[in-house]
Amino acid sequence: MNKMKLISLAASLLLSLAGCGGGGDGGSVPPPPPPPPPPITKAEAFQFLNQSTFGALETEAQNVIGMRYETWIDDQLQRPASLQLPHLQSLAVPGVMPFELQDDRVDIWFRNALHGDDQLRQRVAFALSEIFVVSHIGSSLNNQPWALGSYYDLLAEHAFGNYRDLIEAVTLHPAMGVYLSMLGNEKPNPTLNIRPDENYARELMQLFSIGLVELNIDGTVRLDNGQPIPTYDQSIIEGFAHVYTGWTYAGAQNFRGASPNYFNQVVAMELHPDFHDTDAKTLLGGVTLPAGQTGEQDLADALDNVFNHDNVGPFIAIRLIQRLTTSNPSPSYVERVARVFNNNGSGVRGDLGAVVKAILMDDEARPAMHMEIDGKIKEPLLRLTQLWRAYDAQSASGRYPLLAAYIFFGQGPLQSPSVFNFFSPFYAPPGEIRDSSLVAPELGIATEYQNTLVTNYLFYQAFALNHIADSLEEDDVFINFQEEMDVADDIDALIDMVAGKLLGGEISDTLRTEITGMLERIPETDTAIRAAETIYFISTSPEFAYQR
């Protein structure tokens, strides 16, 4: 149902109520208690769970229907994080090549994503990992799997904490230190034309906090004579670059040439005061840090300076809304969330748990509108996790070591090609989306090539990587469609079952008609093929790729 239909329906309901009379004689009748909210439908619960977990499940939908959204969120907010590092540390240390543990890191990511009972926390951690990006692709972090596991745990543990604490933990984690070269960054040496590395200084502001141009609280760009207003210039970048000097691996004897080991890659970097610049530093908003401060003081002041910039609320609101609920939030949606960032109601700025709750509870996210621009394209990796959750995916080994996720799906856990993430928040494909000045970030990696890779993966998943397939490798992740096979002689029942698990029960007439046509060509005794065919067509359909 579209918004116009809803409005006309609401209007007719109001008219019919008015027609019932009820205009009393005034004053004496106490107002009736507010009506109970309408029950949550299965489709609505699916929408909510696809925004807040790694894929809606019929069982979890029943929980949401019973608990209602807010209680479900509050329950999730207090659940502790499922972690990666303890698992990685429980494994034998590879003799020479730590990168061999990267598939175990991906494995534990999938285990937590598929089975963790802290689904909302894991989903938000994944969103944060696409904002505060580090990656083992094209980086020496490939040989530091423990650093990456530890970094991901940091994101999960701070997912509902305070943004100020989060950026400090991110800044001092050696994974970020390596990825954006703050680790080992030292004070200037003018005689050798050496000045501090600007990498982290630039990207913390551009990508993690405030962005390039000043924003209104509703996320729209502030203009001056029709032009955007830059948030910083080169002198401010250099100021922050000087702040971020003197840090390297904890416990290093020597600042220069400090190298990672099993222990120091999972704990915060430490300051070597001799390598920290102690001159005055220009920061945002005309603030100057005085000369002579310690590295810790400079860092605390600099992160406070960023944290208190007016852009952070709308910037983080837009980034998280785009990861969770919709590509094109209205300015008022952004503003409502940004105001919660600025003040959680108890005077606290930066409360990410409150921000996440505001994003999910907002009117623009919550009623299942199914409008033109509401919702988003699912990230391809989340299409996979939704399918795997719905079909109890497992492997003989119990592992999910899909290290090639970034090839098959164009993305994988901490597998971005650069700090700019798998896709840009501003990506607009040619055609009506770009022509309307709208965006669809996830379509940035939905190229003809990548979509075909995903479609083919789903083909193999349905037909070859399933519970009755023979000759599977022990790490092959297979789905279980026994329930589908049991009803496969009844085409309508089969389609209803798969649509129930993957689409919350709502399937378009076209998709049902086309699947029916194909199933009628497959003998009813070929129950596995019928089941696989149905899962293949639904999991590759545009309506499954869409998150309402």
The answer to whether 451 contacts other proteins (rule: CB under 8 A) is yes
| Contact (Cβ atoms closer than 8 angstroms) between residue 442 and residue 379 | yes
Interface positions, 281-310, toward other proteins (CB under 8 A): none
Interface positions, 195-214, toward other proteins (CB under 8 A): 195-199, 202, 206, 212
Q: Binding residue for other proteins (CB under 8 A) from 215, 303, 535, 545?
A: 545
Q: Binding residue for other proteins (CB under 8 A) from 64, 324, 528, 535?
A: 528
Indicate if the alpha-carbon torsion angle 304, 305, 310, 313 is positive or negative: negative
> From residue 97 to residue 136, what is the string marking binding to other proteins with x (rule CB under 8 A)?
----------------------------------------
The answer to whether 408 contacts other proteins (rule: CB under 8 A) is no
> From residue 131 to residue 160, what is the string marking binding to other proteins with x (rule CB under 8 A)?
-------x----------------------
Retrieve residue 112's tokens. 């937590």
Interface positions, 412-431, toward other proteins (CB under 8 A): 417-418, 420, 424, 427-431
Interface positions, 487-526, toward other proteins (CB under 8 A): 508, 510-511, 514-515, 517-518, 521-522, 526
In sequence order, what are the residues at sequence separation of 6 or more whose Cβ sits closer than 8 angstroms to the Cβ of residue 59?
none
Please, which residue, 119 or 539, has the CB nearer to other proteins? 539
Closest to 63 in 3D by CA, of 50, 49, 51, 52:
49
In sequence order, what are the residues at sequence separation of 6 or more whose Cβ sits closer than 8 angstroms to the Cβ of residue 474?
395, 396, 397
The answer to whether 404 contacts other proteins (rule: CB under 8 A) is no
Please, which residue, 82 or 540, has the CB nearer to other proteins? 540
The answer to whether 468 contacts other proteins (rule: CB under 8 A) is yes
The answer to whether 224 contacts other proteins (rule: CB under 8 A) is no
DSSP string, 482-531: HHHHHTTTSHHHHHHHHHHHHSTT---HHHHHHHHHHHTTS-TT-HHHHH
The answer to whether 372 contacts other proteins (rule: CB under 8 A) is yes
The answer to whether 446 contacts other proteins (rule: CB under 8 A) is yes
Q: Binding residue for other proteins (CB under 8 A) from 76, 278, 466, 539?
A: 466
Q: How far is the CB of 502 from other proteins (least distance, A)?
A: 14
- Dihedral Cα 424, 196, 296, 181, nearest 10 deg: 50
Q: How far is the CB of 353 from other proteins (least distance, A)?
A: 28
Distance CA 504, CA 365 (A): 17
Please, which residue, 36 or 521, has the CB nearer to other proteins? 521
Q: Binding residue for other proteins (CB under 8 A) from 94, 230, 273, 292?
A: 230
Place of tokens 């009813």: 524
Angle, to 10 degrees, between the axis of helix 42-52 and the axis of helix 119-129?
A: 50
| Contact (Cβ atoms closer than 8 angstroms) between residue 123 and residue 242 | no
Alpha carbon distances (Å) from 490 to 164, 191, 467, 494, 524? 56, 81, 21, 6, 8
Interface positions, 373-402, toward other proteins (CB under 8 A): 373-377
Retrieve residue 41's tokens. 């439908």
Q: How many residues bind other proteins (CB under 8 A)?
A: 91
Interface positions, 32-91, toward other proteins (CB under 8 A): none
DSSP 8-state class, residue 257: T
The answer to whether 540 contacts other proteins (rule: CB under 8 A) is yes
